[in-house]
Amino acid sequence: MVSTELVEQLRKLNRVDKLMVIQLLAAELANEETNLIKSGASYPVWSPYDAVEAANIMLEALNAEASSNHE
């Protein structure tokens, strides 16, 4: 959580300094984004293959929608 003291200090900055803070924070966020996926690591990926229960639920929903449109 951002402290009220920090917010007040940021509000007192001039326009150029505020832009520099924005640039610094944007660079920090971009750096964190590039470190999310590590080279050489393996990550699980969900696949709908063998998702029979999910397919049945979707088919029931589609059938219910189709039958309600014909009434």
pLDDT tens-digit series, residues 5-63: 999 999 999 999 999 999 999 999 988 887 788 888 898 888 878 889 988 999 999 99
Tell me the whole-structure pTM to 2 decimals.
0.48
In a domain, 62, yes or no: yes
Split into its structural domains, the chain has a count of 1
Domain of 31, in residue numbers:
4-37+47-69
Nearest to 28 by CA among 38, 20, 37: 20
Is the residue at 10 inside a domain? yes
Is 19 within the bounds of a domain?
yes
Q: Does a structural domain hold residue 51?
A: yes
Residue 64 in domain: yes
Please check whether residue 26 lies inside any domain of the structure.
yes
Is 42 a domain residue?
no
